């Protein structure tokens, strides 16, 4: 079997702690369990990358608003945000782990994710 390695796939996950990154990719989808729309952001630098999902729900909106405001995009009530505006923006993220219980298996899972967004 031949496996093609695409650009950026040879990088490791970012280490825990503050990381200055660039947003290099955005993918859209919906959650497997409840069908909640999300966009996944790829944060990347020379040392590695981290993918983080942002869910379009009342619980997820504070993180979405924080991300847009951190990269300098004005957020106002009634305004629509375009995830494409995030591409190539630079910021500092705090990388860490979060554990949760998988609703399908009831097993505990741990994810590496961006915990905070800071202006670079």
Place of tokens 């004005």: 74
In this structure, the number of other CB atoms found within 10 A of the CB of residue 108 comes to 9
What is the DSSP pairing of strand 17-30 with strand 37-44? antiparallel
Write out the CATH class of domain 12-118: mainly beta
Across the 120 residues of the chain, what is the mean pLDDT of every consecutive 10-residue run?
A: 68 93 96 90 96 93 95 92 96 90 80 85
> Rounded CA gap, 47 and 14, in Å?
7
- The structural domains of the chain, with segments of one domain joined by +, span 12-118
Closest CA to 46 of 70, 12, 71, 18: 12
pLDDT at 65: 95
3-class secondary-structure state, position 18: strand
């Amino acid at each position: 079997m031949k496996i093609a390695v695409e650009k950026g796939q040879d990088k490791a996950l970012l280490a825990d702690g503050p990381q200055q990154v660039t947003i290099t990719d955005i993918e859209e989808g919906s959650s497997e369990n409840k069908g909640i729309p999300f966009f996944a952001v790829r944060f990347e630098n020379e040392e590695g990358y981290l993918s983080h999902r942002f869910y379009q729900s009342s619980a997820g909106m504070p993180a979405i608003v924080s991300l847009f405001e951190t990269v300098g995009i004005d957020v106002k009530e009634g305004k629509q945000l375009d995830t494409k505006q995030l591409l190539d923006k630079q910021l500092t993220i705090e990388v860490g782990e979060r554990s949760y219980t998988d609703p399908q298996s009831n097993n505990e899972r741990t994810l590496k994710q961006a915990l905070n967004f800071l202006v670079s």
